[in-house]
Structure 1
Amino acid sequence: MTQTTRPQVPHSVGLWILLAISFAAAFVPAGANGSVTLLIGMVPVVFAMWHFIRWAGAQTAWLSFLAVVVISFLGEALGVATGLVFGNYYYPDGPLGPLLLGVPPLIQFQYFAMAYASLMIARSIGGSLTVAARGWMLFGVSVMAAFGMTLLDLASDPWHATVLQQWIWRDGGPYFGIPIHNFFGWFFETLAFLLVVQALLNRTKALAKIAEPKPRGFWLQGVLLYGTFPFTIALTPLVQGSAFDHDALVIANAMVGVALFAVVPLWLAGLLSLRNMKTHE
C-alpha cells in the first residue's frame, strides 16, 4: 500500500510559516523592542527542533539539542573565564539576556538552529539526508557543517560584536575588531558538538526514522533554513542603515560581501544537491 503524505500536511504548513517568519526577521528595524527581537530570534530554533523531530525522532532531536547547548555553553564559559577558546572577550549585561557564568544561555538556543541548518546543508551535499553517515563520511560531513557554521559567524560576528557590542573583545582584532583566534575556536567547538549529534543520528532508532519516506518539500525546508542567515545579513544595511553611523555601515556592507560570496554559494550547493534525491511524494 502506498503511504499517504496527508497527515504530514499540517506539519508542512506550520514549518513553512515558521520558515517565512525566519526570513521576515531580516526586516525587523534596529530600534525594535528587545523582547520582540528575542521572540523572533527563537522562531528558527522552534523550526529546527520541529523539523529535527520529523527527520530523526523526538529523542534524537532533544538529545542533540542538549549536546549543542551543553558543549557550546561550557566552551563559552571557559572562553569568557580564560580567553583560551575564542580570545579575550566578555558579554555585557542586558543585550542577550541574563548571564550565567558570564554567558547568556539564550544564545545557545540560537547555536542549535545554526548547527541544524549547517548539518542539513552538509548532509544534503554529502548525500546522507536519508541514510547513515559513517566512517570518513561522518567525519567529512561534520567538518563541512562546522565550516558552514563558522562561515555564518564570519559573516555576522563583526556586526553583533563590533557594532551592536552584544559581546566585546577586550583587545580587538584584525577582522573588524575580532581576533582570528575566535574563528578557530568556533570551528573546533562546533565540530565537537556536531560529531556528537552525528553519533546520535547513527543509532538504530534514529536511522529507522531518517529512512522513513518524506516529501521533497520537507528536505527543501531543511536546506532553506540555512539561507535565512545570509538573507538577514545582506538586508541589514537596507533595513537598519539609518540607525547607525558611517563606520557601522562600512562593516555592514563588508558583511554583505562575505554573506553573498562565501555563505550563499554553500547554500546553493545544498539546494542543488536536492535534485538528485529520491523522495516520496
Structure 2
Amino acid sequence: MSNSTAPKTSVGLWLLLAVSFAAAFVPAGTPGSITLVIGLMPVTFSMWHFIRWAGARTAWLSFLAVVVISFSGEAFGVATGLVFGNYYYPDGPLGPLLLGVPPLIQLQYFAMAYASLMVARSIGGVLTTAARGWWLVSVSAMAAFGMTLLDLASDPWHATVLQQWIWRDGGPYFGIPLHNFFGWFFETLAFLLVVQALLNSKKALAKMAEVKPRGFWLQGVLLYGTFPFTIALTPLIQGAAFSQANVDIAVAMVCVALFAVVPLWLAALMSLKKVSSTS
C-alpha cells in the first residue's frame, strides 16, 4: 500500500470505530433503519481492518466460516434445544427469520469474533506471526472466552428484558440456562479455530507481516472495548426498557462488563507495547 493511501485508510477506520463507540448512545425507540445502519458499523470496520491485516481472501473466508458455523449452530439449537437450551427467536425484534434464526445477528457475531480475536492474539503475541499447535488452540480458546464474557454480560438484558430471544423453560441466570453459555463457548471456539487455521496460510502470514500504519493494532483492540462500553451504558440509555424489576439485571451486566470484560481488554491494550508499527 502506498504511503498516500495508508493515512486515508487509517482515518476511515478511526471514523468507523468512533461510530461504533457512539452506538452505545442510541436511545430506545430509535427507528429500526437507523439502528441497523449504526449496528453495521462494527461489522464494516471489522471486515476492512481484517482485509488490511491478513488480506481479502482470508477475511472473506473467515467471515463465511463465522456466518455458516454460527447460523448452523443456532438453527440446530432452535430446532432441538441441544446447543443453547430450549429457546426461540420471536418475529420482529431482530429482523426476518430463516429456519427460526435472524440471519442479521450473524453479522454482529463476526464483529464480536474479530474483536475477540484481536484481543487474544495481542495477548498471545501473535498479531504478526503464526499461531500453531497448542498455541493456536489456546489463543482460540481465549478469544472464545472473550466472546462468552460478552454474552454473559449482555444476554439477560436482550433476552429477559427486551425479549429478543426467549428461553421457554427459563434458567438460573436471570431466566437463562447455564447450558447457553457452554454452548456459546464451544460454538465460538469452533469457528475461531477455523479462522485461526486460515490465518496460517502463506498469503495471510505474508500480509500480516507487512508494516502497518501507526495505530493500526490499537484500532483492532479498541474495537473490543465498544462492547463493554455499550453494555455498561445500556441500562441508562435505554431508559424506556428499564424498571425497578430490572435493577438486578442491570447491576449484573455492568459488573460483568467492568470487572471481567474490561480487564481482558486492558491486558490486550498493554500487550500492544510489544508490537512495533510505523506510520
Tell me, what secondary structure is at the counterpart of 2:23? helix
* 1:62 equivalent among 41, 52, 60: 60
Aligned counterparts, 1:8-19, within 5 A: 8-19=6-17
Aligned pair partner of 2:105 in 99, 104, 107: 107
Looking at structure 1, the residues matched to 267 and 230 of structure 2 have their Cα atoms a distance apart, in angstroms, of 19
In the other structure, the counterpart of 1:270 is 268
Q: Which residue of 1 aligns with 2:199?
A: 201
In structure 1, the partner of 2:118 is 120
1:84 is matched with which residue?
A: 82
Q: 2:50 corresponds to which letter in structure 1?
A: F
| Contact kept in structure 1, 2:225 and 2:262, CA below 8 Å | yes
Q: CA deviation at 1:22?
A: 0.5
2:72 is the counterpart of 1:74: yes
State whether residues 213 and 280 of structure 1, in contact with CA within 8 Å, keep that contact through their aligned partners in structure 2.
yes
**Contact 1:124–1:274 under 8 Å retained in 2:** yes
How far apart in 2 are the matches of 1:243 and 1:133? 43
TM-score when scaled to structure 2?
Answer: 0.98
- CA distance, structure 2, for counterparts of residue 119 and residue 96 of structure 1: 25
Q: Residue 263 of structure 1 aligns to which amino acid in structure 2?
A: V
Of 244, 247, 250, the residue aligned with 2:245 is 247
How is 1:165-204 mapped onto 2 (pairs within 5 angstroms)?
165-204=163-202
Shift of 1:98: 0.3
Return 5+ residue gaps in structure 1 as ranges.
none
Read off the aligned partner of 1:275 and give its amino acid letter. Answer: K
RMSD: 1.2
- CA positional deviation for 1:242: 4.7
The list of structure 1 runs, each at least 4 consecutive aligned residues, that deviate by more than 6 angstroms after superposition, is none
Instruction: Give the Å deviation of 1:243.
Output: 4.2
Letter in 1 for 2:168: R
What TM-score do the two structures reach when normalised by structure 1?
Answer: 0.97
SS of match in other structure, 2:238: helix
Partner amino acid for 1:97?
A: G
* Contact 1:96–1:106 (Cα < 8 Å) also in 2: yes
Out of 125, 137, 145, the residue aligned to residue 135 of structure 2 is 137
SS in 2 for 1:174: coil
Q: What is the CA distance between 1:196 and its match in structure 2?
A: 0.3
Displacement, 1:216? Answer: 3.5
Q: Please state whether the residue corresponding to 1:98 is helix, strand or coil.
A: coil
Match of 1:232 in 2: 230
CA distance in 1, matches of 2:84, 2:51: 31
**Equivalent pair of 1:241/1:249 in contact (CA under 8 Å):** no
Identical aligned residues as a percent: 81
8 A Cα contact 1:67 1:196, kept in partner: yes
Shift, 1:4, TM fit: 6.5
Deviations 1:147-197 (A, max 9, x none): 000000001010100000000000000011100000000000000000000
Residue 238 (structure 1) shift = 2.0
Bigger shift: 90-99 or 240-249?
240-249
CA distance in 1, matches of 2:253, 2:95: 25
Moved more, 5-14 or 133-142: 5-14
Cα pair distance change 1:255/1:221, threshold 3 Å: same
Partner residue, 2:158: 160
8 A Cα contact 1:5 1:215, kept in partner = no
- C-alpha distance in 2 between matches for 1:146 and 1:253: 24
CA–CA distance in structure 2, aligned partners of residues 201 and 270 of structure 1: 19
Rounded to whole Å, the distance in 2 between the matches of 1:196 and 1:219 is 22
Cα distance between partner residues in 2 of 1:244 and 1:161: 14
CA distance in 1, matches of 2:146, 2:3: 31
